[in-house]
Amino acid sequence: MKKSNKDKIKIRKAKKSDSKIFLKLVDELAAFEKLNPPDKKGKKQLLKAAFSQNPKIKILISECGSKITGYAIYFFTYSSFKASRTLYLEDIFILEEFRNRGTGKLFFKKLLNIAKKNKCGRMEWVVLDWNENALNFYDKLGAIELSDWKTFRINL
Amino acid sequence: MKKSNKDKIKIRKAKKSDSKIFLKLVDELAAFEKLNPPDKKGKKQLLKAAFSQNPKIKILISECGSKITGYAIYFFTYSSFKASRTLYLEDIFILEEFRNRGTGKLFFKKLLNIAKKNKCGRMEWVVLDWNENALNFYDKLGAIELSDWKTFRINL
């Protein structure tokens, strides 16, 4: 797809009316990561988590011209030793044909601004170890890998 | 220290009156992990995060007889693909002389119960890669290591 000057990239908060396209993008990210997307019930729960009065997650949307091209899900965690909040980026996804146009950089700029406004001491996220493009991007951003920590999970 | 039958181990919610001993244990965990503990201002913020009306963190305390022997800090995060909350264990610490008595197991039992009550799909935490005792303990618990994910951070 040819980049046109008209295709201005914008990052904004997701609205409830974005739900349908947002859920489609969630499926696309799951396919890209070779993971299971939420099922029908899960998708309903996900929208509730985002658009209820006390939202558990926050969603940003990227637009290129009038097309929704990607999304980011974040929420706040907490660091006991920093004694401050952390902005945790749960997901970031940009449709393949809209990559390499600066959308990812704009997402991170927006997220870092939100983190600063909320007095966060850190921003953190995880990435699959085979996702070379993402790893290169995060390296260029100046992010540090926490290679001396191991993550554990118990599924319930 | 000899284990006595009188030394019953109990896990309970932390109270504001536990603040002084709790902060001492935070310093001990930081020393054990060779990391910087929160400074005076940070300690004040940490107590506020725990004991304000909308707490950002929750604290459990372990008692052996009448002595406070350890703590755990947790909060809830969110998994987009599971479309459910995750109980995230930020810190767990037990004083050296009170280890190997089952306190860690009781902490995890309590935390898993809290996770289930809150309809969490997962419980997660991180551990330093040189902490062999903890790694063995988590392995015995049946926890899985998320070895295909890398964690990134930007300090603000």
Instruction: Quote the pLDDT of residue B4.
Output: 52
In angstroms, what separates the C-alpha of B26 from chain A's closest C-alpha?
8
Reported in sequence order, the residue ranges of chain B that DSSP labels E, i.e. its strands, are 9-13, 58-64, 67-79, 84-94, 122-128, 144-145, 149-155
Q: Is B69 helix (H, G, I), strand (E, B) or coil?
A: strand
Looking at residue B104, what DSSP letter applies? H
Query: What would the two tokens of residue A39 be?
Result: 């099922």
**Residue at B53 is within a domain:** yes
Annotated active-site positions of B, please? Answer: 138
| Total number of domains constituting chain A | 1
Which of A8-12, A32-36, B6-10 has the weakest average pLDDT? B6-10
Residue of A nearest to B44 (CA): A83
> In this prediction, does ipTM exceed 0.85?
yes
* Average pLDDT in chain B: 95
The answer to whether residue B46 sits within a structural domain is yes
Q: How confident is the model at residue B1 (pLDDT cuts 50, 70, 90)?
A: low
HSE-up (13 A, CA, CB side) for residue B70? 24
pLDDT at A3 exceeding the cut of 90? no
pLDDT at B7: 80
pLDDT in tens, A95-133: 999 999 999 999 999 999 999 999 999 999 999 999 999
Q: How confident is the model at residue A7 (pLDDT cuts 50, 70, 90)?
A: confident
- The pLDDT confidence band at residue A142, using thresholds 50, 70 and 90, is very high
Percent of chain A with pLDDT over 70: 96
Over residues B81-107, the mean pLDDT reads 97
Domain-located, residue A64: yes
Q: What is the mean pLDDT of residues B1-10?
A: 68
Q: List the one residue out of B39, B1, B38, B47 whose CA is nearest residue B20.
A: B47
Domain membership of residue A146 (yes or no) is no
Q: CA-to-CA distance for A115 and A107, rounded, in angstroms?
A: 12
The beta-carbon neighbor of A78 closest among B41, B56, B79 is: B56
- Is the residue at B24 inside a domain? yes
Whether B80 is covered by a domain: the verdict is: yes
What is the spatial distance between Cα A53 and Cα B92, in angstroms, rounded to a whole number?
A: 32
How many angstroms separate the CA atoms of B108 and B93, rounded?
12
Chain A residues near residue B35 by CB distance under 8 angstroms: 81
Task: For residue A28, count CB atoms less than 10 angstroms from its CB and return exposed for 0-12, middle for 13-18, buried for 19 or more.
Answer: middle
| Nearest by Cα to B67 from B8, B2, B5, B3 | B8
- A–B CB contacts, 8 A cutoff, strictly below: 182
Domain carrying residue A109: 9-141
- Is A29 inside any structural domain? yes
Residue A59 lies in a domain: yes
Which pLDDT score is estimated for B111?
98
Which chain B residues have a beta carbon less than 8 Å from that of A38?
80-83
Cα gap B55→A97, rounded to integer Å: 42
Write the burial class of residue B72 (CB in 10 Å: 0-12 exposed, 13-18 middle, 19+ buried): buried
Q: Of the candidates A46, A116, A145, which has its C-beta nearest B83's C-beta?
A: A46
Q: What share of chain A is helix, strand, coil (3-state, %, to 5)?
A: 35, 35, 30
Question: What was the pLDDT predicted at B6?
Answer: 60
% of chain A with per-residue pLDDT over 90: 95
Token output for B45: 């913020």
Q: Which of A 91-120 lie inside 8 A of B, CB atoms?
A: 91, 112, 115-116, 120
Please confirm, yes or no, whether A138 is among the known catalytic residues: yes
Among A141-145, A147-151, B1-5, whose mean pLDDT is lowest? B1-5
- The two structure tokens encoding residue B57: 């963190």
Question: In chain B, what are the helix, strand and coil shares in percent, each to the nearest 5?
Answer: 35, 35, 30
Three-state DSSP state, B145: strand
Across chain A, where does the E strand assignment appear?
9-13, 58-64, 67-79, 84-94, 122-128, 144-145, 149-155
For residue A153, give the 3-state DSSP assignment: strand
Half-sphere exposure of B134 (CA within 13 A, CB side): 20
Task: Please tell me the distance from the alpha carbon of residue B89 to that of residue B55, in angstroms, as a whole number.
Answer: 15
Instruction: Kindly report the CATH number assigned to the domain that includes residue A100.
Output: 3.40.630.30
Q: What is the pLDDT of residues B22-75, one digit of tens each?
A: 999 999 999 999 999 999 999 999 999 999 999 999 999 999 999 999 999 999
**Using one digit for the tens of pLDDT, what is the confidence trace for B99-135?**
999 999 999 999 999 999 999 999 999 999 999 999 9
